[in-house]
Homo-oligomer: A and B are copies of this chain.
Amino acid sequence: MPEFLTVTDADFEARFAALLGMKREEAEDVDAAVAAILADVRARGDAAVLELTARYDRLTLDAAGMAFSPAEIAAEIAKVSAEDRAALELAAERIRAYHARQRPEDASWVDAAGARLGWRWTPVSAAGLYVPGGLASYPSSVLMNAIPAKVAGVGRLVVTCPTPGGVVNPLVLLAAQISGVDEIYRIGGAQAIAALAYGTETIAPVDKITGPGNAYVAAAKRRVFGRVGIDMIAGPSEILVIADAGNDPDWIALDLLSQAEHDQSAQALLITTDAALGRAVAEAVVRRLETLERREIAGASWRDNGAVIVVETLAQAAALANRIAPEHLEIMVEDAEALADAIPHAGAIFLGPWTPEAIGDYVGGPNHVLPTARSARFSSGLNVLDFMKRTTMARMTPEALKAIGPSAERLAISESLEAHGLSVRARLDRLNG
């Protein structure tokens, strides 16, 4: 059974703090192995990637075989049913429409001193998307990473996806095609991150790498950060449901289980003002676990990391939610919008009983790559700006330089940066002389 906490319990704060501080992920120490792989690929390029792919993915390739050819892609995609294709296309269309609204605006204005100021947004030239192989090879994640990049205007979008034993998920290839991916390589692990960051004879380097992966991939991304941009380092998935009386316990149980089934390390939490609902949800989870395909994983997650927290007021619920800073937040209370306003720290918010989090995983439109492990306190889900950068622009006129230049000169002198000051002074002297 998961934790059952009530805010009036004497030991509530200690138990809640323990829940918050819980280390759900084994930090596998793969850093030394990853450093060696990165150095090897950097030094030997394709040859190293091919050897590592043979070793870890039991797949013998030559350099020409690293990329899926158009014919291979077409042959795999032909296996997809019309219904699956239609669902993927609906999802892509909705994700594209949502993210299109995130395109930022350039700005340019002349201020009172006569200076023209502004900024300009431009896309990164090339981005790499890591797609895990095997069970966690999700076509929806391809859409969620690739579409924002394409909306941003990324010119070259590369997917790497390991195919252990040569097996690939046709839906992943279809999702890549629908999203406008330009190149797809059958490689994975730290060697794929190295190939994307440093380039090889066959794979040109990219500027930004996104996408989830195992401990090797995460360690490799952390190491190449700076040489290329990376997205967040994703941790296990989380959901927090806040519900008042009158909700269907079975719906909430399924929403909790839809996070719990991802991973034994996932965390599903319920905060409710109604203790009876809390108990009913816990019972419904047990019932649903009896038949759920992934009952082993989901059951372990719920047992080890799950909790039902009973509060007296929604203000208490908001305060706890802000401390949790959940990746996914479902709000199923009478005035869900008002409660959402009181919870700034959350990755994605799902309002009302008709918005199960699974909608957001696939077809809602918002991104499902979201900040985990309390990082919603300071970071955002994947979005179009992650594939763009802002350049600031300034143009002084002689008049503007006369107005503000002397202050720049003064500050430069106060910081003992003489050449800074002289670069302004030389121009002012021309104007005054």
Contact = CB atoms under 8 A, between A and B. Distances in A.
Interface of A: 83-84, 86-88, 90-91, 94, 97-98, 101-102, 107, 109, 111, 115-117, 119-120, 122-125, 135, 138-140, 171, 207-208, 222, 225-226, 228-229, 232-233, 248, 250-251, 254-255, 257-258, 260-262, 288, 292-294, 298, 336, 340, 344-367, 371, 373, 375-381, 383, 385, 389-398, 400-401, 404-408, 410-412, 414-424, 426-427, 430
A401 B362 CA distance: 12
A354 to B, nearest CB: 4
Contact of A359 (B346, B364, B401): B401
28 contacts: A87-B406, A90-B407, A97-B111, A111-B365, A124-B377, A139-B415, A171-B414, A208-B378, A222-B222, A222-B225, A251-B423, A260-B419, A288-B422, A294-B416, A294-B418, A336-B395, A348-B391, A348-B394, A349-B394, A354-B398, A358-B420, A362-B412, A363-B404, A365-B394, A376-B389, A376-B391, A380-B391, A381-B392
A131 to B, nearest CB: 13
B417 A207 contact: no
A274 B430 CA distance: 23
B354 A400 contact: yes
Contact of A88 (B111, B124, B411): B411
Given A393-B340, A415-B138, A410 B257 contact: no
Given A91-B407, A233-B226, A298-B419, A349 B393 contact: yes
Contacts of A257: 419, 422-423
Contacts of A362: 407-408, 411-412, 420
Given A87-B411, A119-B366, A412-B358, A250 B394 contact: no
Shortest Cβ-Cβ A-B pairs, 8 listed: A229-B378, A366-B392, A122-B344, A351-B395, A254-B423, A257-B419, A358-B420, A87-B407
A378 B367 contact: no
Given A347-B391, A366-B394, A389-B376, A90 B422 contact: no
Nearest to A254: B423
A359 B424 contact: yes
Given A254-B419, A258-B420, A414 B84 contact: yes
A257 B347 CA distance: 45
A251 B109 CA distance: 26
A417 B258 contact: yes
B380 A115 contact: no
Contacts of A397: 354
Contacts of A426: 248, 250-251, 254
Interface centre among A86, A359, A427 (most CB of B within 10 A): A359
Residue in A86, A347, A375, A376 whose Cβ sees the most chain B Cβ within 10 Å: A375
Contacts of A83: 410
Given A83-B410, A414-B139, A424-B358, A394 B258 contact: no
A397 B354 CA distance: 6
Given A117-B364, A359-B394, A411-B87, A258 B419 contact: yes
Nearest to A395: B351
Contacts of A294: 416-419
